[in-house]
Amino acid sequence: MRTTSTKKTLVTGGCGFLGSFLCERLVAADHDVLCVDNFYTGSKANVAHLLGNPRFELMRHDVTFPLYVEVDEIYNLACPASPVHYQFDPVQTTKTSVHGAINMLGLAKRVKGRIFQASTSEVYGDPEIHPQTEAYWGRVNPIGLRSCYDEGKRCAETLFFDYRRQHGLAIKVARIFNTYGPRMHPDDGRVVSNLIVQALRGDPITIYGDGTQTRSFCYVDDLIEGIVRFMATDDGCTGPMNLGNPAEVSINELAATVIELTGSRSPIVFAPLPSDDPVQRCPDIAFARERLGWEPQTALDEGLRRTIAYFDALLSSAPGAIRAPQSCAGGRGNG
Ligand SMILES: NC(=O)c1ccc[n+]([C@@H]2O[C@H](COP(=O)([O-])OP(=O)(O)OC[C@H]3O[C@@H](n4cnc5c(N)ncnc54)[C@H](O)[C@@H]3O)[C@@H](O)[C@H]2O)c1
């Protein structure tokens, strides 16, 4: 029997990059946090500072299997997010998105709890419109190397909205755009971590394509603020809602900034663009601005400084623990 009004909150994928910051934020807001993770890409090290906190509990569990726990609300983040990881075992990636969504929605239905889904800008595929609004249905290849992730996330969105229509669930679906910050996996091939690790090690800096393709990068603290505000909206606010930073930067500009901030003397080398890598990606965040009064606050320079400091400390403490980012056909890209 529950004796306090403290919210019991489940975070799946809580040992990952975004999940660990979310757990931290919720614990600080006095939630009782149950962090569930199968350690596929996440690690205990990301939540080590929370392990002694009585408000925090860690459970090893794979969301493709049902979970029977008593909670008030659920943040569903479990899913590898970088191409190199999600393409390593693509069938498991689709299962994590689809079976994971079914299991977490079933749990939300049983406990009558609110549920948040970490969807992605990848549901827009290689978009024909720019910037992308939530009304855009996307242009996604259903049979390519990235489809396990893109289509898995699209199917998860379908499930969320069908559970809403069929069972009246309180859902919150956020389409997250590229986010960066400390605790990113150092060798997952994502462009920010790739460039920083290469620059700090003095290795050649790899740019896929000609570097004119653009991305918009959101600092992790800003994204977590958006997620928490979204979860606090009334039940009518289901999304999908874009969360990201609309400030666009080309990969060439990003590389130049990283080189400047690290003082690196690494040369830049160009490599072929992986398949289905979008040319341009930028969120329209008008909906989030209006409903959440939210927009990113951290300038790219500032966010990169904090991220560089994290990787610098990591490389100094365990230089052998980080593999130099390598080329991997189809697996790496600028996302
Ligand atoms: N970081 C971004 O830029 C970004 C952008 C769009 C969407 N997202 C979404 O946000 C979520 C978190 O992304 P992230 O960047 O923190 O990635 P991440 O890989 O660091 O974290 C994912 C976490 O999920 C766990 N996980 C994977 N499969 C699981 C399973 N079957 N059962 C239980 N746990 C499992 C991993 O071990 C890891 O801890 C993902 O759903 C991702 O698709 C992230």
Q: DSSP string of 38-83?
A: --SS--GGGGGGGTT-TTEEEEE--TTS------SEEEE--S--SH
**Which pLDDT does position 322 carry in this prediction?**
55
96: alpha, beta or left, given left = phi > 0 and alpha = psi -120 to 50?
Answer: alpha
Which position has the token pair 């003082």? 263
Quick check: CB of 184 below 6 Å from ligand 1?
no
The pLDDT of residue 302: 98
Give Dmax (Cα) for the chain.
Answer: 62
178 lines ligand 1 (CB under 6 A): yes
Given this model, what pLDDT does residue 188 score? 83
Q: Measured in angstroms, how far is the CA atom of residue 74 from the centroid of ligand 1? A: 15
Beta sheet of 73-76, edge-to-edge order:
56-60, 32-37, 8-12, 73-76, 114-120, 171-176, 241-243
Q: Environment class of residue 7 by beta-carbon count within 10 Å: exposed (0-12), middle (13-18) or buried (19+)?
A: middle
Report d(CA 206, CA 197) in Å as an integer: 11
Atom number in ligand 1 closest to CA 335? 3
Per-residue confidence (pLDDT) for residue 186, from 0 to 100: 87
Neighbours of 129 (CB within 10 A): 13
Q: Which of 10, 12, 17, 185 to mutate to test ligand 1, by most ligand atoms within 8 A of the CB atom?
A: 17
**Could you tell me which residues come within 8 angstroms of residue 191 by beta carbon, excluding any fewer than 6 positions away?**
178, 215, 251, 254, 333, 334, 335
Token pair belonging to 275: 């398949």
pLDDT score recorded for residue 268: 95
Which among 126, 103, 104 is positioned nearest to 115, based on CA atoms?
104
Q: Show Cβ contacts of residue 87 under 8 Å, excluding neighbours closer than 6 positions.
A: 93, 145, 146, 148, 149, 330, 331
* Confidence at residue 333, expressed as pLDDT on a 0 to 100 scale: 39
Q: Is 86 a catalytic residue?
A: no
Look up tokens 């690196």; give the residue: 264
Residue 187 Cα to ligand 1 midpoint, Å, equals 15
Q: Name the one residue in this structure whose structure tokens are 């999304």.
A: 239
Extract the tokens encoding 173.
């679906």
Q: Which residue has the tokens 């934020």?
A: 25
pLDDT at 321: 54
**pTM of structure:** 0.93
Question: Cα separation of 74 and 56, whole Å?
Answer: 15
- Amino acid identity of residue 331, one-letter, is G
Among residues 40, 75, 149, 180, the one annotated as catalytic is 149
What's the pLDDT at 319? 60
Those residues of the chain that have pLDDT short of 70 are 1-4, 275-278, 319-335
User: In sequence order, which residues have a C-beta less than 8 Å from that of residue 142 and are 6 or more positions away?
Assistant: 151
